[in-house]
Structure 1
Amino acid sequence: MDSNLNPPTYKDYYKILQLDYDATDHNIRLNYRKLALKWHPDKHKGDAAATSIFQEINEAYSVLSDPDKRLEYDLNGNYEIDNYTLPEYLSRFKGMILTCNGLGMSQTSKWSQPLMELNDLKEN
């Protein structure tokens, strides 16, 4: 069987919780609570679609609220560029491409040292 016939489907947990890709823990909790209350099955008796949405919200929250799971998701999740607008794409990768720590480098790496020396010269 050709695996291209049934490609895996990926869920964008940030979109499910209506969050920016650099959302804080506080914002994750707030949006989760708001959406969980809105889509709770008790408010939509017998509506299978609402129950499904509620389950997706819980799944997204269980990943994004756990720092280890969130890091794993951010590093290995679905990054199909065609699914995102440019601001969404840049926001999603901001932590990895715009900070030294995102690249696994210490703050005082050999790349930042010349900049620090230049700043010291300017101050004197």
Structure 2
Amino acid sequence: MEAGDGGESHKDYYKILEIDYDATDEDIRLSYRRLALKWHPDKHKGDRDVTARFQEINEAYKVLSDPDKRIDYDFSGSYEINRYTLREYLSRFKGMILTCNGLGINSCPKW
């Protein structure tokens, strides 16, 4: 399901590509290539689950490899705390947790 389509789940493209939430472009590309080779339908003739997995990998790569789509993806969807372990949650949202700029604030007022 796509983000914002009213579905009950938001695909976690980072988990699909088996990368960290702060992965570099190179990390994304390398993981995509590894997974695409592993799950390519030609290697698993007639297995629909493999084809579906391969399509998910391609979908995730198309979004995360494009900087604009990645930013839109990162700020869209429903993020429920119970979907993540503490480590995943902190990794996923550390930019927003640790910086005012991650919250769209240009400067932090002095407390």
Give the TM bin, normalised by the shorter chain.
0.7 to 0.9
- Alignment root-mean-square deviation, CA: 1.9
Gaps of 5+ in 1: 1-5, 115-124
In 2 relative to 1, CA 16–72 (structure 1 residues): closer, same or farther, beyond 3 Å? same
Deviation, structure 1 residue 74: 0.7
Q: Quick check: 1:22–1:95 contact (8 Å CA) kept in 2?
A: no
Q: Give 1:1-124 correspondences, 5 Å limit.
A: 8-106=8-106, 109=107, 111=109
Deviation, structure 1 residue 110: 5.3
Q: Percent identity?
A: 71
Q: Find the counterpart in structure 2 of residue 3 from structure 1.
A: none
Read off the aligned partner of 2:98 and give its amino acid letter: L
- Give the alignment's TM-score, normalised by structure 1: 0.77
Larger Rg over CA atoms: 1
1:76 counterpart SS class: coil
Per-residue deviation, residues 7-64 of structure 1 (Å, max 9, x unmatched): 5222111110001111111111110000000000111111111000000000011111
CA distance in 2, matches of 1:13, 1:40: 18
CA distance in 1, matches of 2:54, 2:99: 35
CA distance in 1, matches of 2:108, 2:87: 30
CA distance in 1, matches of 2:67, 2:47: 32
- Give the alignment's TM-score, normalised by structure 2: 0.85
